[in-house]
Amino acid sequence: MFIRLLRPRSVLLIPKRGRVKTKWATHKKQKLPSLLALEHFDRFYAPMYDKLWPSIRLALLSQQKYGALINNYSNNVDSAVLDLIDTGADNFVQIAQSHKLSEASDIVDKIGLKKDVSIPEILESLQKEKEKPPLVQHDDGHHVETELDSNLYEYMPVETVYTEDELLELKETEENIFRPQDFSVDLIEDTSLSLPIQLKVHTFSRGNVTMFQPPKGDSHRLLDYYLLDAASTLPVLALGLQPRDKVLDLCAAPGGKALTILQTGLTDKLTCNDNSHSRLGRLKTVLNWYIPAADKITILKKDGTKLGHIMTEMFDKVLVDVPCLTDRHMLQTDDNNIFSSGRKRERLSLGDTQKQLLCSAILACKPGGSVVYSTCTLSPNQNDGVIQSTLEWLWENTKIDVSVCNLKPLADACSKTFRFYEHCRYGQLVIPHIRANFGPLYFAKLMRIN
């Protein structure tokens, strides 16, 4: 009787001679940055947004919706508005105006430690992460030289040595977990909130995915509307602009929010700053196409983290629309994607930059004025997390006193158009939904008391 011994298929089929060993280092395909972004969001947002995540994810991967910001400087305003209404795109600011902001704002949301903020399994997963067998090498009894002998007794043997990549990985996890601190902050009622009549932003209703026609030029070659994510006009509404306000847009390029500020007709003087030469070029192009004479606009190219130290207490209102993960954009393009391996450090330092920009914005704001912070990411750490760490820093290191404003009345007024996340601690967050595919857009407002 013969017993046939089967060899593994691969060995049977592939003759030994001529077999090529795969060189993974050179042949393994690198994952595209957009795929890395999606994996990152699945890892950090799924536990945070829980049951909402599948619908947010679907919307992020689908065609986003736009809004048409009417250019009041164009000769064609009336016909542009009529055309938009004819096609079914209504002015969401006007719809929101039917809500009485002041009545809604009677309900001031007091947030303390007991508030049921959902920061669910993500903390648990961090704990698990920590409990994993260490990525370590032990340092066994090497001779250690110290400057002073007495220090030998203070020497703690090294337990864990991380490689640079492992350190970045740890920072990645840390950077994406927001832990609410043990202090409680009462949000204050914001009596300055109002919806400027001049501002007209047309959007198609929920579920209507009609695309806008390209804007048209008037006799002076000024375009009649500007297409943008309609949610990005909300931080401007939150500013609560008053006639003759002096306004600083600290990270202004390419200029969608600066243009929105100008369309309210309320600012006397707008200062637009950005540290990127090329993006400032785009801002100037936008202004040229939409604004006749730029006399009330000053353009600066400065590091925004330092500007507050130079232009201290000069502005009534400051908008700080910081660089962030730009979630939607990162899923759509691989070019210059912040999830590419070459930009990992930059990505992990975003939180620090955001905090420095917000501190600088607060310094630039007059006492009694206010600052609106905004991002277009769902990352809790880059949203409420930055507000919280800035508050802590201010309280510990300065005499500046700020209050956080309750923006719920504004969110309620705009809830026919946008879908808001209910569990932010300090700000409001528009979450993308397939029927109202705007955002993500987070905004929070700080009022400077002294």
Helix (H, G, I), strand (E, B) or coil at 248: strand
Residue nearest to ligand SAM (CB): 304
One-letter amino acid of 310: I
Among 255, 380, 439, 440, binds ligand SAM (CB under 6 A): 255
Q: How far is the CB of 8 from ligand SAM (least distance, A)?
A: 55
Asked whether residue 18 is marked as a ligand-binding residue, the answer is no
Q: Transcribe 46-101 into DSSP letters.
A: HHHHGGGHHHHHHHHTSPPP-EEEE-TTSTTHHHHHHHHHHHTEEEHHHHHHTS-H
By CB under 6 A, tell whether 252 contacts ligand SAM: yes
Q: Binding marks (x or -) toward ligand SAM, 185..224, rule CB under 6 A?
A: ----------------------------------------
Would you say 19 or 345 has its CB closer to ligand SAM? 345
Q: Which stretch binds ligand SAM (CB under 6 A): 18-26, 72-80, 248-256, 333-341?
A: 248-256
Q: How far is the CB of 65 from ligand SAM (least distance, A)?
A: 17
Q: How far is the CB of 141 from ligand SAM (least distance, A)?
A: 47
By CB under 6 A, tell whether 256 contacts ligand SAM: yes
Q: Binding marks (x or -) toward ligand SAM, 301..340, rule CB under 6 A?
A: --xxx---------------x-x-----------------
One-letter amino acid of 214: P
By CB under 6 A, tell whether 36 contacts ligand SAM: no
* CA nearest to 33, candidates 365, 339, 260: 339
Task: Judge contact between 241 and 260, C-beta under 8 A.
Answer: no
Would you say 124 or 346 has its CB closer to ligand SAM? 346
For tokens 């795969």, the residue is 22
Tell me whether residue 376 is one of the annotated catalytic residues. yes
> Which tokens belong to 37?
């972004």
Q: How far is the CB of 274 from ligand SAM (least distance, A)?
A: 5
Among 43, 99, 279, 344, binds ligand SAM (CB under 6 A): 279
Catalytic residue among 272, 359, 365, 376: 376
Q: Transcribe 137-163 into DSSP letters.
A: ----S-----SSGGGGGGPPPP-----
CA dist., res. 239 & res. 312, Å (int): 19
For tokens 């997963």, the residue is 125
Asked whether residue 200 is marked as a ligand-binding residue, the answer is no
Q: Which stretch binds ligand SAM (CB under 6 A): 43-51, 89-97, 299-307, 406-414?
A: 299-307
Would you say 193 or 300 has its CB closer to ligand SAM? 300
Q: How far is the CB of 69 from ligand SAM (least distance, A)?
A: 11
Would you say 186 or 303 has its CB closer to ligand SAM? 303
Asked whether residue 274 is marked as a ligand-binding residue, the answer is yes
CA dist., res. 430 & res. 18, Å (int): 59
Question: Which CA distances in Å does 390 have to 248, 322, 360, 381, 447?
Answer: 19, 14, 10, 12, 13
Question: Which CA distances in Å does 447 have to 123, 154, 166, 202, 368?
Answer: 31, 47, 40, 29, 7
Task: Judge contact between 50 and 120, C-beta under 8 A.
Answer: yes
Would you say 125 or 276 has its CB closer to ligand SAM? 276
Helix (H, G, I), strand (E, B) or coil at 178: coil
By CB under 6 A, tell whether 355 contacts ligand SAM: no
Binding site for ligand SAM (CB under 6 A): 232, 251-257, 273-276, 279, 303-305, 321, 323
Residues labelled as active-site residues? 376
